Chains A and B, each alone.
Chain A
């Protein structure tokens, strides 16, 4: 397993190279350049040309790429054009919000998705199943921004239970209670993904329930709840674990929308704003970090998969 993990980590390198080249090419396709955006409408062509030269943007694209790459290899992701701070520091400032948001979202996905999925499968065909399946269908179809706005309308504006926007750090006054700022955003983000997990848990469990070994388990005289959890859900978990890899990919893009709707100072909103500001170093840096995270999460999913299913061999 260590050899497998090492090889997978090694495979990160070519993937990161490919991703960085693609991103580099794509952001230079967007019309407009950072110099004119930074200097504003009143800038003269001479001023723009001078700033362009100063930022090295007049050099050929491939030269720019290799300068950036050689800096990255040395641990330097560059300096933000807009903030005039190192890119790593800019990303770190948004990381707390995004990581806490991701953790809370994952918690909701697990806490809501798995028990409701199990309930729907074990109460298959009853009103509880129809309610769970119907609800899951509804939340899987609702767009994130719409759900976010309605949650704000009901729980922030109407009932006043949770704040509607922003997120003071948990190291600020209020401490961990500041997590209530992330309540509505995390629910918004979790809803479509939890709905997916509900449907997946239900469908996988109904599939497994028809397998012969479940009949063997029942023939042992086990309690139906034990059969449902130890024999049906445990085997259905193999398919569900694989889905968590995809869920993470969906979370990244949905987080961009959610952080914007709730004005959260996270990495998702940072990407959108950096694209609008043509802040090339920040965009490059964030994407690099997201790709690394994505690949690590998928490595974890594959390792979990092998642990869940003894028939899967990693060597």
Chain B
């Protein structure tokens, strides 16, 4: 009953995920969104609410689609995937096996041969494999063609395929089909999107774990425990005259406390999850001419920049990604805060404030050659709300000796380092510290389950809230149907993560666990 159903969020075809609607969307985000939109289809029966008719997501899944699945750029090998009912026919038409005796292509056999154009000329020498329905990535009849890398060759082959009865696949459409055909659940489909987008080892590990179904398993185990609790409660409600050996409130409460604890860990893991997925965000800020751009460039030059964009980033500011020992770090150079500003700068400052709020670490640069810089610091820091702050005393190369010497004795109860962004002096200490801070956010992930989706976090939080309420009603000895009500509501939230529907399982559990029958 699941039953019992949430719809406020999600559903691409029907509505956009609510958390995506809230924000202004950058082009990069939009690209990612189309994947999510394709994936986060009606999650449970609960949430199918037809809203937008014209959505591009009204993609059918009964035709045949094809796309190049290797990244753009030249490579040794390129691959093209074809999925849908016509896949085999299309391959038969464009592919000529080298061994002419091969009449019918067997599933999961690799064939060597040629892709021919409509005039019978060879486009490329390739290998191809056909996968039957139910045993392919999409769950549909599917074929893959491996040719020589190189965009021209790939495009020529794709053209030939599209000339047959196929259309170009939309972004994420193969995975969407995998979900629609029941091959993977929603949480795993989302993990695919993450996996594809992962830019660093950490992000990859997490996405892979989730793709392997670890998140789904964890969710299922919570779900099972809740259904067990419900079975106890419901059996007692529906069989008041039977002397059933159901668990007492105390036992129920204990297991519920455990479940809430598990959920709490998952919910909190989102902090790491988000950082892993979206990167550790560092805002470089300070008063005008404090040397922000110099620091920005210096850090950029010292680290490998990540060229491809990472979803969820904003591009309003000068912002770049660096790979800091396997961690994606996003550096943002904000407009100068404070100082006299015109209208335009003021607008800039407002969003600078926002950047700061969304950062995991704020570096406050101070120009120590300026007059009165010491007095300004306490007020400036106070303005930075409760972020983790790092003070950098810049321009030590130009500072007077006594100023430099005094740096050791001042303390604003935040970590501070004297540096010169121009000469690079002092940068080693600063960078060492930076690594300590960032890696603290990235614990050993080998056995830890981390959620990387805000949608999951929202659902888990909601579920947890309902379970807490249920626990409270157990404590207060409220009537059991109210406890059951809250448990069921929580269960619905959980089910939305994997896109599952609540059903008769409670009753089944009751019958198998209790001897019942007046």
A and B pair up: no
- What is the interface of chain A, defined by CB distance below 8 A to chain B? none
